[in-house]
Structure formats: structure tokens, C-alpha cells
A and B are shown apart, each in its own frame.
Chain A
Amino acid sequence: MKTFPTYLLDRTKLKDSHTLAVYRANGGYKALEQVLKKPCTPDQVTQVVKDSGLRGRGGAGFPTGMKWGFMPDPKKDPRPRYLAVNADESEPGTCKDRVLMEKDPHGLIEGCLIAAYAMRLSTVYIYVRGEYRVSYDRVAAAIEEARKANLLGKNILGTDFTCEMWMHKGAGAYICGEETGLMESLEGKRGHPRPKPPFPAGSGLWKSPTTVNNVESLFNAPYIVERGADWFKALGTPKSTGNFLCGVSGHVNKPGVYEVPFGLTAREILEEFAGGVWKGRKLKAWFPGGSSCGMLPASMIDTVMDHEGTKNAGSMFGTGAMIILDETASVAQIMEVTLRFYDHESCGQCSQCREGTQWLHQIFKRIARGAGKQEDIELMSSLANGMAPGKTICALSDAAAIPTRARAPSAGSLVGTTATATVARASRPTTLIDQAEVAWTFGIPNVAWPKAPNSPKGTSAPPITRSPTCSRNCRARRYSPSPWRTPSAHARMPPTATATIPSTKFICTSRPSHVVGSMTSIQYHTIAPSHPVTISATDGSAYPAGRSSAHQRSTASAGRPERLKSCPMSAMPTSHKPPPSTKSPSPVRP
């Protein structure tokens, strides 16, 4: 096994590593003291991080120092500025930030403080996903400890640097890991990603300059500041520097989160750290970086694990979370699970994503139960072309389409593997699934698919049916009205919608993304006249003549509540021009 220096997980192995005492006894907050007392200018700190080549660990791999540099000069732009920490870790396969937050929360706080100093800001929000209760409690307790020790709040360590930090709990939506979705959620709204530009550095939280960083990215900052950019660059590869946390899960002997430098091959990580494929079985396929990165066949296990290596292999590095499938796994079943996930998590703003994820899910569901049709490949391809790349507001649609577009250059070996594979569930028609797998994974267009044995008379597979009741192909076929309809408005509604109602707001509780309830939202859908669903206006008496008076009250600036009038944001120019350098990439991990 190659030896290499470690730093990310060193403290997590200590007893009570989440306490301030242990953190300080092991070199904690040294970097912060170094920055504040030496003193370094904020630009010097940013420069060190830029020089180190640190790339964001949240999925897109965007250079962190460059992102910090996008924040406008506070002398020219007096708006408040924010750092939002993306701890909404929900990419399937990824469980690294949780380890850091649970075992070493002060490391995150120190990283946030250094970032706040470098970007000259004084408010940090840590957006933790709602399910991570232990992480939330640990970081919240660490913030309290730090506050008492004068490491947070006013005049930190006796200097004039002031910084406040607040925890914010998410509520289970994957899309809130996308940076603009996260900002919407932090503002107390549905997590609908925003179109870019404007980029967060120009107009983010409450229309102010904002930077969104991943937990692990920030966690690296104190080490870089303390030990220097050259030390950091010596780790990893020239373009992907440092160590990263690699979560290995699935069919392996020792699943876990391992600290490794960029540049090891996936085989080294799988065999030397994770103990190889479990039960002595062979490898069939693997995800290099969570579900959003295309699956690779066993033949490509020697891919170098860094941003460049995975890209050359036809996939992406993502969050560096490897998911391993052994020879008994059904790729079709895993694709069904993956697409079910995107179907569930699509926020519903962009039609191609909202509909496309549902269609892909249904197609994979059909393939997985052995009823795939030959046309499915063409259909998937056409759906995927409509969904990606870059055709929607955020990258969730791309992520959902990527697996279906996966084209591995060396298809041959997986064909061999699949042909000899024994599918886990004996009841499933093996040959059909295997052929389907080969076909969609490698884009072999002319596989002659056998007739589905479970279809009527063996002639054709069951069609994908559109719901008889919902024009939007809603699976649960269950619309329910908003509780806030007035009897008079309801009485005016015919039992089925007719063309006399030009556009109708409605609520669908079967699928959160279909809920279109906000009066402030301009997004609503019209329902076809023949739609046999009971529709209720979400707005009472004023419906459908226009917006309600209450709505006007809440949106018109003149009518804003007194408290909001005093908010600095309301005094902000509405047409702020973002700095020309804000070319931040679209995040890979929504």
C-alpha cells in the first residue's frame, strides 16, 4: 500500500474529538490565530487558497479560492455579505461531511471563520440536512463552545474581526444541495433553484453577495493556511490537489469513509482500503462519485480517481463516493432505484426534468421487471437529449440523464461479465435483463430483445400508461384541494374544469413538486379542459379576477410591514450588476 500523509480524519479518531478541548490540544484554531494575529490581509488568505489549487468537494470541483475571489469589494458594494455552508449532503453514496461534522465540528467552524475573514463577511449560515440530527447537535454545541471561548461573535481573539454563525436545518429535499436551491430554502421558501446569472457572488441570499461552500472544502482551509500552499500541492495530482474523503459503499467487505490523496486508482481504493468486493465475488460495475456520475464497468476499475481521470473515463468525479456493484447485482434494478430517486427529488420547475425523470423511472421500472422493449433505447435517448446538457435551470436534469447516456469505451468486457452473471432474483428473466443492461449501458442500438414473458400473449410489453386522471402523468392520481378554499369559490367551480376557467391554480398532494400553491409564485399550470379532477382555487374571493388583495399587500413595497422596511435589503438597488468574473460553473451535484 502506498503511504501518504493524512490530515482530514486524523482528529476524528481521538476520543471526544468533537469537543473544543480536544480540538485545541491537537492544533485546533492555530490557523485562525495565525491569520488574525500575524496579521494576514484577507486577500493574502484568498491567494494562499487559490495557490493551493483546492477544488470544491461538493461535486463540481470548482476552485475554492477563485470562488472566494468573486465576492465584490465591500468598499464598492456595501450590501451585507453571507457565507452559506452546504451541509445538505444527500447525493446517494456520499456520507463524508457527516463524519466531519459529527467527529470534528470545530474544524468546520475554523474553516468557516477563515473563509469569512478572507471574504470580509461576518455572517455564516450552516445549512445542515434535517436528517443529520447528530451532526446538527454537534455543530450547534461546538458553536456555543466557540462563542464562549471568544472564537465567535464580536472581536474574535481580541482583534477587530467579528463573525456570527447560525445553524439552519433543512427538511429532506435533495435539490437544496444545489447552491441556489439552498439559498431559496434558507430564505424560507420552496427549494426551487434560481436561474443563473445572477451568480450567488453577485446576488445570492436576500439579493446580497453570497458564497456557498461544501463542508469538506472549508475543512481544508485551516490546513492550507497553516501549512502553506506548497504542502497542499504536494498531495494529490497537479490539477486535483490534496486529499479527499472517499466514501466506499455497496458490495464491499469494508464499507466506510477513507482519506486518500487524488491520483490513486479506483482499484487501489477498492482493494487496499475497502477490502475488495464482498463474498469473494467479481466486480460488475461501479459509480465513481455518487449516483449523478455515470456508472463504469469493471474493466475501468483502474481509472485514476481525480477530476481528470474520471472525466476521461466518461464519467465524473462528483463527491468521490464510490458505489460498488458485484456480479450478482442487477444494473437495471439499480438504474430503477437511481431514476426513482431523481423522479422523487425533481423540484418540478422545468418541464423536461419533471416529466423526463418520471418517464425514465417508468422505463427502467419496466426493464427491471423484465418487460423492456426495443424502442425503449430510442425513447430513453430522445428523453435524455431533451433533458441534458444544460437545458434546465439546475443540473439535476443532467444528473438524471447522464446514466442513460453512459457510453463506456470498452463495452466488450462488461458484455462478457453480464453474459455470465447470475441475477440475484431467480424469478426474474435473466437473459432479458442482461440484454437490456448491455443495451442501455453501452448504447448498443440493435439488440434484439425477446418478447416479455409476462405480457399478454407474449406479444408486447405493457405500455407506459399515462394516468387517466392527471394531465401531468402524476403517479398517485390524487389531487386534493388546498385547505384554504372558500365555500363561495368552491361553489363556483364546476365538478370538472372547463374552458371557461382560463387558468387555474391547483394543488396536488401526491407529489410535492406538483404543489403550486404560492400566491407569490408566478408558476402555475393550466389544466386541459377535459381534465376530470376537482380543482379548487387556492385564492378565495378574488379568484380568478386577479391577485388577491392580501397578495398585493405582501408584494407591494409600499405595503411592506414596518419591520421589513427597516431591512437593509429593501434599500438595495434592484438591478445590481454582478462582477464580470463570476463565471462559476453549474454544480454537478444538485
Chain B
Amino acid sequence: MALPQKLIDEFNVLVTHYPERQAALIPALHRCQEDLGGWISPQIMEDVAAYFELEPVEVFGVVTFYPMFRTTPRGKHLVSVCHNISCTLRGAEELLAKVCEVTGAKVHGTSPDGQFTVERVECQGACANAPMFDLDGVYHEDLDAAKAEQILRSALSSKVKA
């Protein structure tokens, strides 16, 4: 399976920004993860490696180094709950428990209906608006249990593709 032509075209533009081709690897992996199912499969790694003239294992090394790249499939929605200092001080653990309760997913797991994957993450840079979570790339800040539940339920009912 080769990468879609649309992505190849984007990569062709990306690599012109740098003197060496490999520099565009991380932005390219982001694009792959966004467009090709929310995670980076071994097949994608091989295809990307072929594009960048690298060994697949070098791409594997990069993918596994960065926490934002997922090497396992995820649910339709991804909830990343910050549990660093400022968020912990303002109730991140309680928020996480609530998120797990509402979604039915375990921490770092996916809910049985495949809708939500919940993970705990390190500082997201929203310390002044703690506690927070990132739902499908959108920050939701100054949360409490009720607010969190409402946001998650509306994500569930929305027809928009995550």
C-alpha cells in the first residue's frame, strides 16, 4: 500500500522548507496520523521510510520517541487528560475518574463501543486554566465534573467526524 497522492504532494512541498529531506519527517508523520486513521501502523512507517529514503526502523525510532505519535489504533475520539502539577493541584485525578466513568474507557484504553480512547498526558501548557483535557485536538479548560461530562456527551452525539 502506498501513501495517498494527496499526502505525497504535501510532503513534496514540506521537504522544500529544509536543506535535508529527513527534516520533514515529523511534520509528515503528523499528517499521516491525522489522515490515516489516527495512528501510525508499521505499513505507514514503511511507506514513509521509503519516501524519505530511510530505513523503516529509523522511522520506528522516531515514532516511538514522541508521545504524540500512536503506534496502536485508537477510538473515534481521543481524550488526553493533563495530570501535571497545576492540573493535579486543581483536581486532575478527579477529572480523569469522571472522564473514565462517562466514556466507559480505562486510562490508556478504549471504551468498549470504540468511541473514546482516554489517556493521561504530561503538561499541555494550559496551567493557568487547569484542569483541562484535549479532546480531538481542541483544548477544554477550567473544567469540573459537570462541564467535562457535558463536553464528552456532546462529542458523542455530534455527527461530525472527529
Contact = CB atoms under 8 A, between A and B. Distances in A.
Between B26, B30, B55, the greatest number of chain A beta carbons within 10 A of the residue's beta carbon is seen for: B26
Contacts of A97: 125
Contacts of A95: 125-129
A168 B23 CA distance: 9
Given A188-B22, A515-B60, 20 more contacts: A90-B122, A94-B123, A95-B128, A131-B125, A168-B23, A171-B66, A172-B121, A189-B22, A206-B19, A250-B127, A255-B130, A323-B85, A325-B89, A341-B85, A483-B56, A484-B55, A517-B61, A517-B64, A518-B58, A519-B57
Given A189-B62, A564-B21, A171 B29 contact: yes
26 contacts: A80-B19, A89-B125, A92-B127, A93-B127, A95-B129, A131-B68, A131-B134, A170-B66, A172-B121, A174-B123, A186-B23, A187-B20, A188-B62, A189-B22, A206-B20, A249-B127, A249-B130, A257-B128, A325-B89, A338-B85, A344-B67, A483-B45, A519-B58, A551-B55, A561-B53, A569-B19
Interface in B45-71: 45, 52-58, 60-62, 64-69, 71
Interface in B1-54: 17-27, 29-30, 42, 45, 52-54
Interface in A247-266: 247-251, 255-257
B128 A334 contact: no
B137 interface: yes
A465 interface: no
Given A94-B125, A250-B86, A256-B128, A518 B57 contact: yes
Interface in A136-195: 166, 168-174, 185-191
Contact of B122 (A168, A344, A482, A569): A344
B67 to A, nearest CB: 4
A171 B64 contact: no
Nearest to B86: A249
Interface string A488-532: 000000000000000000010100110111111100000000000
B144 to A, nearest CB: 14
A169 B30 contact: yes
A347 B56 CA distance: 21
B142 to A, nearest CB: 9
B128 to A, nearest CB: 4
B83 interface: yes
Contacts, number: 195
B68 A568 contact: no
Interface string A558-574: 00010110011100000
A329 interface: yes
Nearest to B21: A563
A129 interface: yes
A520 B58 contact: yes
Interface residues of A, number: 80
B85 A334 contact: yes
A291 interface: yes
Contacts of B128: 95, 247-249, 255-257
Interface of B: 17-27, 29-30, 42, 45, 52-58, 60-62, 64-69, 71, 83-86, 88-90, 121-130, 134, 137-139
Given A130-B30, A517-B57, A93 B68 contact: no
A563 to B, nearest CB: 7
B58 A515 contact: no
B60 A483 contact: yes
A132 interface: yes
Nearest to B71: A509
A409 B138 CA distance: 44
Contacts of B19: 80, 206, 567-569
A291 B54 contact: no
Contacts of A483: 42, 45, 56, 60
Contacts of A345: 122
Nearest to B29: A171
B23 A337 contact: no
Contacts of B57: 482, 484, 517-519, 538-539
A392 interface: no
Top 5 nearest A-B pairs by Cβ distance? A171-B66, A188-B25, A172-B68, A188-B22, A249-B127
A321 interface: yes
Contacts of B89: 249-251, 323-325, 329, 334
Nearest to A250: B89
B125 A190 contact: no
A173 B90 CA distance: 24
Contacts of A206: 19-20
Contacts of A554: 53-55
Given A341-B123, A564-B21, A172 B85 contact: no
B127 A173 contact: no
Contacts of A191: 65-66
A193 to B, nearest CB: 13
A537 B66 CA distance: 22
Interface string A11-54: 00000000000000000000000000000000000000000000
A333 interface: yes
Given A172-B68, A250-B85, A256-B128, A521 B23 contact: no
A428 interface: no
B107 to A, nearest CB: 14
B145 to A, nearest CB: 17
A93 B87 CA distance: 9
